[in-house]
Structure 1
Amino acid sequence: MHIGKAIRLERIFNRDTKRTIIVPMDHGVTVGPLLGLETIRDTVTKLVAGGANAGLVHKGQVRLGHRMQGRDFGCIVHLSAGTSLSPHPNMKRLVTTVEEAIRLGADGVSVHVNLGDETEGQMLADLGQVAASAADWGMPLLAMVYARGPRIADEYAPEAVAHCARVGAELGADVVKVNYPGDGESFARAVACAGVPVVIAGGAKMASTREFLDMVKTSIDAGGAGLSVGRNVFQHSNPTRLIQVLDRIVHRGASVDEAVDGFEDIL
Structure 2
Amino acid sequence: MTELGKHIRMERIMNRNTGTTVIVPMDHGMSVGPIRGLTDMKTAIQKVAEGGANAIVEHKGLVRAGHRGQGRDIGLIVHLSASTCLSLYPNAKTLVCTVEEAIKLGADAISIHVNLGNGYEKEMLKDFGRISYEARTWGMPLLAMIYPRGENITSEFDVEVIRHAARVGDEMGADIVKVSYTGSSETFRQVVSGCSIPVVIAGGPKMSNDLEVLEMVKGAMDAGGAGVSIGRNVFQHADPTAMVRAIAAIVHDGVDVDAATGILKRTGRGGA
Fold shared per TM-score above 0.5: yes
Q: Does 1:93 align with 2:94?
A: yes
1:177-221, Cα deviation, whole Å (9 max, x unpaired): 000011112111111111100000011101111001000001001
Q: Which amino acid aligns with 1:213?
A: L
Q: Which residue is 1:35 aligned to?
A: 36
1:65-112, Cα deviation, whole Å (9 max, x unpaired): 110011111000000100000000100010010000000000000000
Displacement of 1:263 after TM fit? 2.9
Q: What is the distance in 2 between the residues matched to 1:208 and 1:262?
A: 15
Q: Which amino acid aligns with 1:111?
A: I
Q: Does 1:157 align with 2:158?
A: yes
Q: Which residue is 2:176 aligned to?
A: 175
TM norm structure 2: 0.97
Q: What is the distance in 1 between the residues matched to 2:158 and 2:231?
A: 21
Q: Which residue is 2:59 aligned to?
A: 58
Q: Answer whether contact 2:245 2:263 (CA < 8 A) is retained.
A: no
Q: What is the distance in 2 between the residues matched to 1:84 and 1:64?
A: 23
> Match of 1:89, SS?
coil
> Match of 2:76, SS?
strand
CA RMSD of aligned residues (A): 0.9
Gap change, CA 1:262 and 1:230, over 3 Å in 2: closer
Q: Which residue is 2:254 aligned to?
A: 253
What's the % identity of the aligned pairs?
55
1:41-67, Cα deviation, whole Å (9 max, x unpaired): 110000011111000000011111110
Gaps of at least 5 residues in structure 2 are none
> Match of 2:194, SS?
helix
Q: What is the distance in 2 between the residues matched to 1:153 and 1:202?
A: 20
Q: Answer whether contact 2:246 2:263 (CA < 8 A) is retained.
A: no
1:212-263, Cα deviation, whole Å (9 max, x unpaired): 1000001001000000010010000000011111111111110010122253
Aligned runs of 1:124-139 on 2, under 5 Å? 124-139=125-140
Q: What is the distance in 1 between the residues matched to 2:17 and 2:84?
A: 37
> Match of 2:122, SS?
helix
Q: Which residue is 1:220 aligned to?
A: 221
Q: Which amino acid aligns with 1:195?
A: S
Q: What is the distance in 1 between the residues matched to 2:270 and 2:40?
A: 22
Q: Does 1:20 align with 2:7?
A: no
Q: Answer whether contact 2:211 2:261 (CA < 8 A) is retained.
A: no
Q: What is the distance in 2 between the residues matched to 1:164 and 1:175?
A: 12
TM norm structure 1: 0.98
Q: Which residue is 2:121 aligned to?
A: 120
Q: Which residue is 2:198 aligned to?
A: 197
Q: Which amino acid aligns with 2:81?
A: S
Q: Which residue is 1:244 aligned to?
A: 245
Q: Which amino acid aligns with 1:150?
A: E
Q: Which amino acid aligns with 1:167?
A: V
Q: What is the distance in 2 between the residues matched to 1:163 and 1:221?
A: 20
Q: What is the distance in 1 between the residues matched to 2:195 and 2:37?
A: 32
1:104-160, Cα deviation, whole Å (9 max, x unpaired): 000000000000111000000111100000000000000000000111110000001
